[in-house]
Structure 1
Amino acid sequence: MQPAATSPSPPLNEAKTKRNAIRTQTVDSLWGCFFILPQMVGLIIFSLIPLVLAFALSLMSWDGFGERSFVGLDNFMGQFKDPDFRIALVNTLYYTVLTVPTGILAAMLVAVGLNKVKGKVLYRLIYFMPNITMSVAVAVVFMWLFNSDFGLINLYLKDWFGIDGPRWLTDTRFVMPSIALLSIWMGLGGSMVLFLAGLQGISPTYYEAAQIDGASKWQQLRHITIPLLSSTTFFVTIMSVIGSFQVFDQSFVMTSGGPAKASYTLVYHIYDSAFVDFTFGTSTSAAVTLFAMILTLTLLQMKISKRWVHYEE
C-alpha cells in the first residue's frame, strides 16, 4: 500500500512566494532602469557634467583659448567688487519686485474670472499663446509698440488723452518697467493655467456653505479661494522668482542692457563677461553666484511657506 502524497509545508510555500516576489520586483526595477536610461544619460552628459565643470571653471582664469590657471576665490571676490555686477544685481531685484507680485495677482484674477465662464477653453488658449511664443519675436513687436516716435502706445496716448508718452526704452526711469510689462504679459497665461487647475481642486461645498451663511463674493474670495489657492500661489511664486532672476532675452533684444545700463541684468552680465570680454572664469563665477542666490531664495520661500500655505483636507 503506497503512502498518501503530502502537500508542501507552509514554510516552503512562504519562501517560494517571497522568492517570486523578489524576482518580480527585480525584473520591474531592471525594466524601470532601462526606460529611464536615455533620460539619465542625457541628464548626466548635458546637465550634471557641465554643472561640475562650471563650478571648477569658476575657480580658474581662462579666456577661452589659452591655458587655465587656478585662482581660487578671486573670481568671486572680484564679482562683489565689480560695479557692473552690483548694477546688474540691483536691476534684477528691481525687475523681480515689478514682475512677481503683479504677475501673480493678475494671473489669479484672470483665473478666477475665467473659472466658470462659457468658452473658457478658448480663453485659456488665447491667454496661453504668448507663453509659448518665442521671446525674441515678442520683444521685437514690443520694441515697435514702445517706440517713442511712432509706437502705437504713444500714438494712442496722444490721440485719446492728449498726453505725450514717455520714451519707454530710452529713458532710464521707464526702461525696466517697460520690460517688466512685457514679461508680465508673456507669463500671464502660464500662471493663469496653474491657478485654474488649483481652482478646479477646491470643493464646491465650501462655497455652498458660505452662500448659506450669507457670505458675499468678496468674502468667498478672501476666506475660501485665496487660502485654498495658497499651495498653487506658492509654486507660482517660486517659479516666477526663478524666472525673474534669469531674465535676459528682453533686455538683450530691446535695449542691449541700456540706456546707461538701466536694464543690465545678472544674466546679461554673465553673457557680457563671457562673450564680450572673454573672461570665462569671471563669467562662470557670476553664474555660480546667481545659482546660489536662486537656491537661497527658494529654500527661504519653502521655509516661510509653512506659515501661510494651507492644504485642503
Structure 2
Amino acid sequence: MRRELRRAERGGPSMSPGRRRAARRESVAGYGFLVPWLIGFLGLTLGPMLYSLYLAFTKYNLFKDPEWVGFDNFVRMFTDDPQYLQSVQITLIYVLVGTPIKLAAALGIAMLLNYRNKGSGFFRSSFYAPSLIGASVSVAIVWRAMFSTDGPVDNSLSLFGIELGGWVGNVALVVPMMILLAVWQFGAPMVIFLAGLKQIPQELYEAAEVDGAGPVRKFRSVTIPMLSSVIFFNLLLELINAFQIFASAYIISNGSGGPAGMTNYYTVYLYKRGFADLQMGYASAMAWVLVIVVAIIAFILFKTSTRWVHYAGENR
C-alpha cells in the first residue's frame, strides 16, 4: 500500500484516477490533523526558544526594549557572579550524588519485587505513588515541616541522643535533605527496572548457578549486562530531571535559596534573576547554558553507551 501511495504521489500508473484522488485526500487529511500540533510547536515551543536565544545576547528587564550586549551575559556568569558559580556547584552535587543513589534504590526495590508475587501489585503502586506527588507543593511543605527544628525527624533522632537541630536551616544538612527527597521519588525508574528484570530469561541464572555463581556473581554477570539498556535509559532521564529541580527547592527555602545559598539550585537562581530581579536577558543566557550542558551530557552518554550497553540479539 505504501508503494502504491508513493507511486500515486509521483503520478504512477499503478492506481486508477479515483484511487489516486482518494490517496491524495487521505494525505491532505493527515497533514490537516498535524496542523494543530505544528501551530503549538511553532508558537509555544520553537518560537519562544528562538526568542529566548535572542534575549540571551541582550539586556532586557521586561519593561524596556531589549538592548543588544553580545556575549556580556555569558562572560558575567563565569567571571563576575559568584552566586551563579555556587548554584552550579550545588546543582552538580545534587545531580552527581542524588542520581546514583536514586537509581540504586530503584533497582534494589525492583529486584525485591521481582521475586515477590503475593501482593506485588499493592507494593508496586505504593512505591510508585511518591513519584506522582513528589514534585507537588504540598509534599515540599510537608517535607520542610518534617525536617524543621523540633520536627518529627529532629525529635526522632533526639531519642537516640543525636542532636542535629533542624535540617532546613542547617548548611551542612539541607543538601542531604534535598537528596533524600529525590531518592524518595524512585518509583518511576523502579517500574522501568522491574519491567526490564521481567524480560531476563531465567535460563541465564540457571546456567550461572550450574557454573557455581553466587548471588553477587549472578548480579554482576547476568543482571547488570542484561539490564544495561534499561540502566542507560533511566540514567539519561534521571540526569535530565535532576538538573531541572525547582519546585521542592523553592518551596522549602521560601524562594530565598537559603541557608547560605545551599538550596539556590540552578533553576531556582535562574528564576530569581529573571522574575525577581527582572534580568530576563541574563536568565535567558543561563537557560541556554543549561540546555547546552544537558545536550553535551546526553551526547557523551550516547557515545559511551556502545561500550557498556547490551541489546538483545546484538552481536559484538
Structure 1 length-normalised TM: 0.89
Aligned to 2:163: 164
Aligned to 2:4: none
CA drift at 1:225: 0.9
Q: Distance in 2 between matches of 1:198 and 1:36?
A: 34
Residue 61 of structure 1, aligned match among 46, 59, 62 = 59
What code does the residue aligned with 1:63 have? N
- Deviations 1:80-128 (Å, cap 9, x if unpaired)? 1211110110010011122111011110111111013122221111111
Q: Distance in 1 between matches of 2:165 and 2:21?
A: 72
- Deviations 1:238-295 (Å, cap 9, x if unpaired)? 1111111111112211123111111211111111111111111011111111111111
Q: Distance in 1 between matches of 2:19 and 2:310?
A: 40
Q: Distance in 1 between matches of 2:145 and 2:310?
A: 44
1:73-88 equivalences in 2 (<5 Å): 73-81=71-79, 82-88=81-87
CA pair 205-251 structure 1, distance change in 2 beyond 3 A: same
Aligned to 2:6: none
1:251-270 equivalences in 2 (<5 Å): 251-255=249-253, 256-270=256-270
- Deviations 1:145-167 (Å, cap 9, x if unpaired)? 1012x2111211122x2221343
Q: Does 1:147 align with 2:132?
A: no
Question: 2:148 touches 2:169 (CA, 8 Å); kept in 1?
Answer: no
- Deviations 1:216-237 (Å, cap 9, x if unpaired)? 2322222111111111111111
CA pair 26-212 structure 1, distance change in 2 beyond 3 A: farther
Question: 1:202 touches 1:312 (CA, 8 Å); kept in 2?
Answer: no
- 2:180 partner SS: helix
Q: Does 1:212 align with 2:210?
A: yes
Residue 200 of structure 1, aligned match among 192, 198, 201 = 198
Q: Distance in 2 between matches of 1:213 and 1:32?
A: 57
Aligned to 1:94: 93
Identity of aligned residues (%): 32
Q: Distance in 2 between matches of 1:121 and 1:251?
A: 32
CA pair 267-222 structure 1, distance change in 2 beyond 3 A: same
> Superposition RMSD on alpha carbons, in Å?
2.0
Q: Distance in 1 between matches of 2:97 and 2:20?
A: 56
Q: Does 1:136 align with 2:137?
A: yes
What code does the residue aligned with 2:91 have? T
Q: Distance in 1 between matches of 2:306 and 2:72?
A: 38
Which structure 1 residue ranges, 4+ long, deviate > 6 Å from structure 2? 18-25
Aligned to 1:228: 226
Aligned to 1:6: none
Q: Does 1:283 align with 2:283?
A: yes
Q: Distance in 2 between matches of 1:17 and 1:119?
A: 58
CA drift at 1:143: 0.8
CA pair 206-19 structure 1, distance change in 2 beyond 3 A: farther
CA drift at 1:205: 2.4
What code does the residue aligned with 1:310 have? H
Structure 1 residue ranges without an equivalent (≥5)? 1-13
Question: 1:176 touches 1:262 (CA, 8 Å); kept in 2?
Answer: yes
- Larger CA Rg, structure 1 vs 2: 1
Bigger shift: residues 129-138 or 265-274: 129-138
Structure 2 residue ranges without an equivalent (≥5)? 1-11
Question: 2:151 touches 2:166 (CA, 8 Å); kept in 1?
Answer: no
CA drift at 1:208: 2.9
CA pair 20-219 structure 1, distance change in 2 beyond 3 A: farther
Question: 1:89 touches 1:265 (CA, 8 Å); kept in 2?
Answer: yes
